[in-house]
Structure 1
Amino acid sequence: MAQISDDCFAFGGPMRPIDETAALIASKLSAVQEVEAVSLVLADGRFLARKMVAPLPLPPFTNSAVDGYAVRGADLPQTVKTAFAVAGRVQAGMAPDEPVLPGQTMRIFTGAPMPKGADTVFMQEDVSVDGSGRVILPPGLKTGANVRAMGEDVALGEGVLPAGHRLRPQDVALAAALGFIELQVKRRIRVAVFSTGDEIVAPGDLRGPAQLFDSNRFMLTAMLARLCCDVTDLGILMDDSRLIAEKLREAASSHDLILTSGGVSTGEADCVKAAVESAGTLVFWRVAIKPGRPVAMGVIDGIPLIGLPGNPVASFVTFAHIARPAILALVGARQQPPIPIAVRAGFSYSKKQGRREYVRANVHATADGSYEATKFPREGAGLLSSLVATDGLVELGEEIVHVEPGHTVNFLAYSSLL
């Protein structure tokens, strides 16, 4: 496991901007070094440990891009239609036996290797055949038309994917096309997750009249799974700072990251902050973000801890903007900030300067062809339904204090945050 020092963050001041916080966390966390080989069918979502270099060109041979007739560029008709004898036939998967000689053409199919001497292909729908079996080729085609040159997609020895890249289905397809059967990836990050609070119980357990079913733990576990983490579910811990401190020390001995939900605010029953200070070092606990201001960052025996708020919307938002960059740093991945989409605001909203705010919204096309964001009608960081019923978050930067209908705002789809 990667170890960090208790004072490596050296945070000062009461509250940090979100971008500065995420960048500082990512810069201080060391990536795990262990590497494992996985088959292509299991590679999606994993993080490359080494740069992928092409062991062969793509395509590996020059071939036809269409069904048609292959000819020599020197023989292309210039002004009038010209008849050519058909010298043979080349199907995909077979090598041509004979070259194309002057005045000849050869029947060829998509993906078939170009016969020697030929460098241009006429599409079959652009030609005709006369009564003696000769092919009539029209003028106007340029040399090299409808031909895929060897290596035009990927050159031999080209670096096609960098180390730290998170593999996608199209990346797996490229690896297969290059002949790989397995890829070297970073091992999965081991994350311990627990919720805190006497007011929550696990789904399926008996719920008291003043209790809620725990939802954050399941949401965070699902979000971690999308980042290919191995998750240890430590369940729900009661509001007892000594018990929580003990569990933190135990978790630090076998995990790369500890992720908690709840208990990081300033109330008397918010015990995570005190437990972190008892078991290790608390390096910050407030971030200039809404929802989600109470976020704790700590170090327990050299292992980072991130304490997220208990309100589910705040937990979701802070995971996306703080925990996710930390996990990418731990796996040695490139930091990939979500790319916002500029849309038109269809709502009014006021906020404090100096704080980043995220407004739950839906986006729809308007009559003029633009896209407009409409705000979820109710406020509250505890409204799980607001995450389910919306498309994403409108991001309002620190300098913004007011939004009116028609203003341009940045929209982040939920898919870009996971």
Structure 2
Amino acid sequence: MSDARHRPSASEPGPNPLAAGENNISVEAARAAIDAAIHPTTDVETVPIALAVGRILADDVISPLDVPPHDNSAMDGFAFDGRALDATQALTLRIVATMHAGAAPVEGVETGQCVRIMTGARMPAGLDTVVPFELCRVDDGDNVEIPASVIAAGENRRFRGEDLASGKAALTRGRVLRPADIGLIASLGLTTASVRRRLRVAVFSTGDEIVSPGQPLPPNCVYDSNRFALIAALQRLGMEPLDFGLVADNRASLQDAMARALEDVNVIITSGGVSAGDADYTRDVMTSMGSVSFWKVAMRPGRPFAFGKLSGRNGRDAWLFALPGNPVASLVGFYSLAREALLKLAGASAQPLPSLDARCTVDIRKRPGRTEFQRGFVWLGDDGKWMVRPVGSQGAGILRSMAEANALIVLPDNHGSTKAGDFVSVWLFDGLT
């Protein structure tokens, strides 16, 4: 397909940092090249805050009011003027009123008097200190005795606007909204949030030997797991995956699938068909439909990987991430090379992969020159240090060990073998949202 309509638009970023055909670049170089090419989308929509969790904030949320809106009590106790305190002797005050949250403040509290006050109640004028009930002695009448040195002037008082001042940004754009953020927006009296539109991502698997779950399994075939694992990973990122099913191992089918996807998505993710086999047509089709750099990344598993921008007949563009066909390699490629790029494209602020250092409990053989990702299990040792051990078979097609693991052990390209007791970096699966 040499039609000019299938070439990238002039508005695209400059030449890809990777020359076509360059092989075995590092994971870091691949990530940098993808990051240099990707720019956030600008599509925005307004949604009710009840539906906004997990969405990416498109604009700063500016507070229309002070939070809290007035000075108030931080706990249940007695409010009084702290200037009456004497560190050397107890203070006795007369209780003249009781205040609950939401009630109008008591006025005219005089020297020698106090107010029984509940958490969140507005502080009466002239009172600046709250002593907790449990620190006081109340007699049979209306008097309360505050022992010496149990409280300092000004304690347990929340100031107007100390949490958030009117006109200030409560949340900044690019934030992936969490439950606490939704609560904060609601506390400002707001009912909607301006968020980025969800990325629409087409997902399909290639291979004549692949069969969809639920169908009869012919001899020499396997059920497709990649498509469903990738769709699940995209859902955890708050994106909108579109299941394009299976694509046969021939150029026409692959080209047709990509052309259909280009009509309505921001991103296309494929698995399989990016190596150098006779039936791997992804490279040729990608080259004919857009500006694509194909490379072998120096990593294990997941060496075959392709990235670029495709252009359709309707003038729409979409980014393509072509992942390996082996199930573990496909997921590792997604986590290590696609995840952060997709979040950036979706408009999120920097979302680095969460990692921690853990002490490896066994030797791991490795040669320098490539980054290796091993499935691992992390736990907290008796000494309070994180521990990790490899889990199950490390073959690129062994998905069971991926399910048994709770982390990936990341072994850098310039490092050799790891000895038991050495610390290694791990990516926690529960953090790969």
Q: Which band: TM-score by shorter chain?
A: over 0.9
Find the counterpart in structure 2 of residue 8 from structure 1: 15
Q: Is the 8 A contact 1:282 1:299 kept in 2?
A: yes
Aligned CA-pair RMSD: 1.7
Q: Pick the aligned partner of 1:97 from 106, 109, 112.
A: 106
Q: TM-score, normalised by structure 1?
A: 0.95
Q: Pick the aligned partner of 2:122 from 108, 113, 120.
A: 113
Q: Which amino acid aligns with 1:285?
A: W
Provide the rounded CA distance (Å) in 2 between the counterparts of 1:161 and 1:16: 38
Q: Which amino acid aligns with 2:80?
A: V
Q: Is the 8 A contact 1:246 1:279 kept in 2?
A: no
Q: Is the 8 A contact 1:56 1:156 kept in 2?
A: yes
Q: Pick the aligned partner of 2:400 from 373, 385, 394.
A: 385
Q: Is the 8 A contact 2:308 2:321 kept in 1?
A: yes
Which deviations, in whole Å up to 9, do the C-alpha atoms of 1:189-215 show, x marking residues without a partner? 111111000011101112101111111
- SS of the residue corresponding to residue 23 of structure 2 reads coil
Provide the rounded CA distance (Å) in 1 between the counterparts of 2:36 and 2:347: 11
Higher mean displacement: 76-85 or 88-97: 76-85
Q: Pick the aligned partner of 2:148 from 139, 152, 161.
A: 139
Aligned: 1:359 with 2:403: no
How many Å apart are 1:8 and its aligned residue? Answer: 3.4
Unaligned runs of at least 5 residues, structure 2? 1-7, 312-316
Unaligned runs of at least 5 residues, structure 1? none
Q: Is the 8 A contact 1:355 1:397 kept in 2?
A: yes
Is the alpha carbon distance of 1:117 and 1:7 closer, same or farther for their aligned partners in structure 2, counting shifts above 3 Å?
A: closer
Find the counterpart in structure 2 of residue 235 from structure 1: 245
Find the counterpart in structure 2 of residue 225 from structure 1: 235
Provide the rounded CA distance (Å) in 2 between the counterparts of 1:416 and 1:142: 43
Q: Is the 8 A contact 2:204 2:227 kept in 1?
A: yes
Q: Pick the aligned partner of 1:21 from 30, 39, 50.
A: 30
How many Å apart are 1:329 and its aligned residue? Answer: 2.3
Q: Pick the aligned partner of 1:190 from 194, 200, 210.
A: 200
Q: Which amino acid aligns with 1:319?
A: F
Provide the rounded CA distance (Å) in 2 between the counterparts of 1:303 and 1:21: 19
Q: Is the 8 A contact 2:13 2:37 kept in 1?
A: no
Q: Which amino acid aligns with 2:121?
A: A
Provide the rounded CA distance (Å) in 2 between the counterparts of 1:78 and 1:280: 78
Find the counterpart in structure 1 of residue 226 from structure 2: 216
Q: Is the 8 A contact 1:77 1:137 kept in 2?
A: no
Identity of aligned residues (%): 38
Is the alpha carbon distance of 1:365 and 1:97 closer, same or farther for their aligned partners in structure 2, counting shifts above 3 Å?
A: closer
Q: Which amino acid aligns with 1:215?
A: S
Q: Is the 8 A contact 1:264 1:285 kept in 2?
A: no
- SS of the residue corresponding to residue 246 of structure 2 reads strand
Q: Pick the aligned partner of 1:398 from 394, 413, 419.
A: 413
Map 1:275-314 to 2 at 5 A: 275-301=285-311, 302-314=317-329
Q: Is the 8 A contact 2:376 2:391 kept in 1?
A: yes
Which deviations, in whole Å up to 9, do the C-alpha atoms of 1:173-227 show, x marking residues without a partner? 1111122211000111111111000011101112101111111101111111122
Find the counterpart in structure 1 of residue 281 from structure 2: 271
Higher mean displacement: 153-162 or 185-194: 153-162
How many Å apart are 1:242 and its aligned residue? Answer: 2.1
Map 1:46-65 to 2 at 5 A: 46-65=55-74
How many Å apart are 1:6 and its aligned residue? Answer: 8.5
Q: Is the 8 A contact 1:249 1:300 kept in 2?
A: no
Find the counterpart in structure 1 of residue 164 from structure 2: 154
Q: Which amino acid aligns with 1:180?
A: L
Find the counterpart in structure 2 of residue 328 from structure 1: 343
Higher mean displacement: 182-191 or 366-375: 366-375
Find the counterpart in structure 2 of residue 204 from structure 1: 214
